[in-house]
Structure 1
Amino acid sequence: MSAGARRLTDPMLECYLVDALDAASRAQVEAVLAESEADRARLQELRAESAAFLVQHPPGPLVARFESSQRRWWHNPLALFTPVLAVAAAVALVVLVPTEDPYTTKGGVSLALHRKQGEGSVRVTPGETLSPGAALRFEVRAQEKSGYVAVVSRDAAGVVSVYSPYEGPAAVPYSAEAALLPEAIELGEVEGEEVVYALFSPKPFALDWAVSALKEGRDLAGAAPEGVSVGRTSFVVSKPR
């Protein structure tokens, strides 16, 4: 066993925490953890940070509403999200799969969704089925402590939305201390899968390329300019039967 330099990136460890890795990747991570004291220590730190995150950074009031075929924001606040201690890991769901050694690659961004439930909130698992009217917020985790971030999506009807900054033309400043973004949405009536992307870069960037690529049905991981990292997750909107 070694207490030397770390081999696993934070996004990889965060995906491990929320069980968002496939079996092969999970086995690789566990093999490294068995050998690396430094990575085991960082995993424990992330686990503690994740459990406390929503308590330390309580979300503000919901200020947005998403209607089925029309994106629009309502300015009267809705109920607050209150953190739930049972959330074991309010962290990343997906990271880019690098072409180089995944344990040494630099950069990357991950995205988690939080759904209001009663007086608290719960993490949305990838591919989870949600009902129209579900209220969501976005948590973005990046390798760097600061930079620029945006959240965009494409729903089952092919409608593209810029959720953060809402209908904005460019990414906005990001700080790791405010990983839970201020924007919130309420799902409309369009049923089917919606894919949501977090975009991050240390430098400012415009969003026109992302909107165009999504309208054309292209995945943003292959369309992103150099220096822009892409994290993605999805959910399915379905009316109760």
Structure 2
Amino acid sequence: MNAFKAKLLDDMDAEFGVDTMIEDEKKRRAENIQKKKRQQKQKSDTAGLVVGHSKEDFLEGNETVLVLEDRDVLAEGDEVLVNPNIVDNTKYAKNAELRKKKGSYQPYPEESLDDYGVQKAKTVLSKYDEELEGEERQMFRLDESGEVDLEKERQEMLIRKNLMMANKRLESIENQKYRVASEFYTAEEMISFRRPSKKKDGKKLRKRKVRVLRADDLVPEETTQEDEKARALRLAAHKVGSLAHKVKQETAAEVD
């Protein structure tokens, strides 16, 4: 019975290649162990080294080959790791910036801000700052494991960007999309044609009082004795004046 089971297992191994799978798994584990050992050794060799670039140059996550920077034999200081392509790109950007600075004189230059949105101190001749103070170079140091936390740097970069954009107002330069003209105005368009309502200051406007005639107003008022006397005096005075004018005309005619 045992011999039959042993033969059956041997047949299965020969048919499905179980022994081969076990051997492949052992080799894979051994290769992973050797790879980890090489990585640990490499990390220990690069631990604490200085990288001669900004962290922002590595935020894309692409694989970048770094080499030791050329330096004098008697030069002191730490060894610096650089990438030739990044060095060339940095020089090109620097030359373009210098060409801008060497233009015409600007009595009121634009404000320059640092990474945290704080205004930098103004200098009289900014295009000569590098010759006087030396080249400003961005560098960072690797940690004990020979790595750098790029995720943390991304978050810090986002914070710096938000600080810079906090006091800025963005305007869209996109034109309004074309649309088919309609024969009738919409409700929103009609609202735009309304005149703005004037605010009332609370003062009451003075209105003219209109007198309404009634039937009693059409009845003639009763005349008193004093009214008749005054009317008679006015009539007599009118007659006397007319008579005096007539006499004056006749006298003038006789004299002629």
* TM-score of the pair, normalised by structure 2: 0.20
* TM-score of the pair, normalised by structure 1: 0.21
Higher percent of residues as strand: 1
Larger radius of gyration: 2
